[in-house]
Every structure is written in C-alpha cells, then in structure tokens.
Amino acid sequence: MNKSIVILISGRGSNMEALLKSRLPCRVAAVISNKADAEGLNIAQSHGIPTAVVSHRDHPDRVSFDTALAGVIDGFRPDFVILAGFMRILTEGFVNRYKGRLINIHPSLLPAYGGLDTHERALHDGVKIHGCTVHFVTPDLDHGPIIIQAAVPVLCHDTPQTLAKRVLHEEHRIYPQAIRWLCRNQIELNEDGRVILRHRKQVGHALISPSLE
Ligand code: GRF
C-alpha cells in the first residue's frame, strides 16, 4: 500500500466509515474534522485512525482557516484528500493546492442540484431519478470532473429522508470504488478535464423510473 489518504469530515461520518470498512488499497493517514463534536471522530478512533480537529471558529476568515487546515493535512503527507461530508466551502487557493488530489462526494446527479438540500429540491421538481456523484474538486463548486455516479429511482411516497437513505446507501458503494481506482492509478484526467478509467470494460444498464410494465 504505497498511497495514503486523509479524510475530512464535519459530522456523522457514514461515508468515512464506509471507506474505513472497505479494505482500501491505501493507508488512511488521518481523519480531520472542523468540528470537535463530529460523531465520525469517534468512529475513526475506534478504527485506530489518528484524528485531528481544525475548528473554523478559531479563524477570522476562510483563507486563515484553509491555511491552518492545509498545514495539518500536509503534516500527514497524503496522496489524496477525501471530503466526506465536509461542510465548508474551500478557497480557490486551497483547492488549487490539491489539484487532481481532492475528491468529494455529493448527494445528487451532478451537474443537477449542486449545493444544499438536494433531496428536497429533487422531490420538489418531481424528477424520477436522483442519485450521487464522486468528483474531483475544482474551484467551481460541485462542478469538478466526475469519476462515478449512482442513480436511484424516486418513489411516489418519498420524503427527503427516505430518498436520502436510498441515495446514501449508494454513496457508501461508489465512494470506496472511486478511491480504489484512484489509489491503483486507474483514473486519468484527460486534456478536456474529463475522467478516463483505464483498463475498464464499460458496461451499463438503464435505470427506468417508474419501471416499465
Ligand atoms: C453525504 O450525503 C454526502 O454526500 C454529503 O454530506 C453527507 C455526509 O454524510 N456531502 P456522512 O457524514 O458521510 O454520513
């Protein structure tokens, strides 16, 4: 295992936990939170992973927070920085420092529904298919090159909570897969900023929602 990652969280850390349980082909050097009471910190510790807190409240502005955060991250010398429910908007300087090495998971089929309250907005619009996306982070919020997506049907009695649960289940499947590809050098970014998967047969099945009779 010659690659290592640092995972950034802000809360419950279920995606982080899915990564820790996935026997990734890399070392998880640390889990860092911007909140001292993030539940995910206890989960990381129970897996024997070093943790750190860099509180945004200790900093007067984003640049100062991001500089402190980068200092702690760099102390662990990770190959990749993995955002897993990290609820801070990062400065352009921070994002560019980790160009091609900063990954995020977002609970929608990007580029639809960037930002917050994705499940509520999808339900409000009456879409029949929703999902989640793992992507490289660029300064353009929720718009970086897409690595993998999972689609789920939206059901007629869905609430934001039931839909979130169905999407989260898929998040826990696609995030470990994306990190595995990255750590095995199977992902390439082409000149157009699109993700190419090396040595992968492309197969796929249509998801039709509601299903055909
Ligand atoms: C997930 O839905 C993730 O897609 C989004 O924030 C949520 C974090 O959940 N970025 P958890 O902390 O991983 O449980």
In order, the DSSP letters of 22-81 are T--SSEEEEEEESSTT-HHHHHHHHTT--EEE--GGGSSSHHHHHHHHHHHHHHT--SEE
Domains and CATH numbers, the chain: 1-98 (3.40.50.170), 105-200 (3.40.50.170)
Q: How far is the CA of 157 from the centre of ligand 1 (A)?
A: 23
Please give the chain's pLDDT, 213 residues, in tens. 689 999 999 999 999 999 999 999 999 999 999 999 999 999 999 999 999 999 999 999 999 999 999 999 999 999 999 999 999 999 999 999 999 999 999 999 999 999 999 999 999 999 999 999 999 999 999 999 999 999 999 999 999 999 999 999 999 999 999 999 999 999 988 888 899 998 777 778 899 999 999
Centre of ligand 1 from the C-alpha of residue 13, in Å: 7
Q: Which amino acid is at 163?
A: L
Q: How far apart are CA 75 and CA 212, in angstroms?
A: 53
Give yes or no for a contact between 83 and 102, defined as CB atoms under 8 angstroms apart: yes
User: Which among 185, 178, 183 has a CA at the least distance from the CA of 146?
Assistant: 178
Helix (H, G, I), strand (E, B) or coil at 157: coil
Residue closest to 8 by CA, chosen among 104, 135, 108, 128? 104
| pLDDT per residue as tens digits for the range 141-189 | 999 999 999 999 999 999 999 999 999 999 999 999 999 999 999 998 8
pLDDT score at 205: 87
Separation of alpha carbons 58 and 78, rounded Å: 24
Instruction: Note if 143 is an active site residue.
Output: no
Respond yes or no on whether the N-terminal peptide bond of residue 60 is cis (omega within 30° of 0): no
Atom of ligand 1 nearest to the CA of 107: 4
The protein residue whose alpha carbon is closest to atom 10 in ligand 1 is 85
Burial class (CB in 10 A: 0-12, 13-18, 19+), 62: middle
How many whole angstroms separate alpha carbon 21 and alpha carbon 176?
9
**How far away, in angstroms, is 15 Cα from ligand 1 center?**
6
Q: Which of 47, 56, 106, 157 is catalytic?
A: 106
Q: Which numbered atom of ligand 1 lies nearest the CA of 10? A: 12
